[in-house]
Amino acid sequence: MNLQTLNLQAFAHGDAASRQSFVSSLGQAFESIGFAAIEGHGFTNAERDALQSVIQDFFHQSTEDKLRSHNPAAKGQRGYTPFGIEHAKGESRPDLKEFFQWGPMNASERDLAPNILVPHIVDLDATVKSAYEKLESVGQNLMRAIALHLNLPESFFDAYLDQGHSIFRAIHYPGQKTPMVEGIRAAAHEDINLITLLMGASAEGLELLNKEGQWVPIHVTSEVLVINVGDMLQRLTNNLLRSTTHRVVNPPAEKCHLPRFSMPFFVHPAEEMPLNCLDFCVTAENPKAFEDITAGAYLHQRLVEIGLA
């Protein structure tokens, strides 16, 4: 599947017609398949490559050195999480990955759990900080467009995102000497958050489940950000915007020995944000599908389900 590609500059700096066209196209993509691609996001190829490089430097360390950045009390929300810990909801077999997570760059100013710094990897902390702040801005612009698509005030999500707990996650799927059972690196799942921004992965493998129940590989260039709806936004809109099931499969057998690196940014609101279905999304034809819950309570519920809490 070739995802619809939208230019964020049309919304961020365009005239009224350009902004409306962007909002309509994004809304249509999110209602139909829950995925789209974004260009004009502000990342240069050099910046993306520099980010890939420092992330790979971290994962190329020995297990002992990586564990210096592991804090079990962080429940996977900060620092390094070893291979074989996280699993998809409803799965017992863990995904074939290890990962590192960073939260807000101003966490210390907001009395949040601090990020775990890695000063022994040259430029890692500074490069991630720069990427996080850019992705945070992209996410806020996209949520403004989503608000307009829902006929809400453009600033509807701003306050929740200003105090949000967005996560940048660097994922390493190690190469395999022999293909694993069913050839799955990350089992079928939906994202927890509002929306996800995915920096181009280093290898193929991302697939989504279409309305016909078929697994479809995603084909995009490395220059775009793949964006998708998460469960929080699906709950808020009572299934109007679709949190589409997706997975990561192994490449062909001759490439299974190669590692895969991926860098998603999960846009999370403030924990006190209510995810109660918006009134205008509940109709006789589309009755309320979800119980009332806050973003924080829902996040904790899902972290338990995937083995991190």
Distance CA 294, CA 290 (A): 12
Q: What pLDDT score does 179 carry? A: 63
Distance CA 298, CA 309 (A): 12
Q: What is the DSSP string of 96-141?
A: S-EEEEE--TTGGGGTPPPP---TTSTTHHHHHHHHHHHHHHHHHH
Nearest to 249 by CA among 296, 155, 180: 180
66 backbone dihedrals φ, ψ, rounded to 5°? -65, -35
Provide the 3-class DSSP secondary structure of residue 206: strand
Per-residue pLDDT of the chain (309 residues; tens, 9 = 90+): 788 999 999 999 999 999 999 999 999 999 999 999 999 999 998 999 999 999 999 999 999 999 999 999 998 899 999 998 998 888 888 898 999 999 999 998 898 999 999 999 999 999 999 999 999 999 999 999 999 999 999 999 999 999 999 999 999 999 888 766 557 888 899 999 999 999 876 557 899 999 899 999 988 888 899 999 999 999 999 999 999 999 998 888 788 888 999 999 999 999 999 999 999 999 999 999 999 999 999 999 999 998 887
Which of the following CATH numbers is that of domain 5-305: 2.60.120.330, 3.40.50.300, 2.60.40.10, 2.130.10.10?
Answer: 2.60.120.330
Q: Which residues pair with 102 in a beta bridge?
A: 168
Q: What pLDDT score does 15 carry? A: 97
Q: Where are the domains of the chain?
A: 5-305
Q: What pLDDT score does 50 carry? A: 95
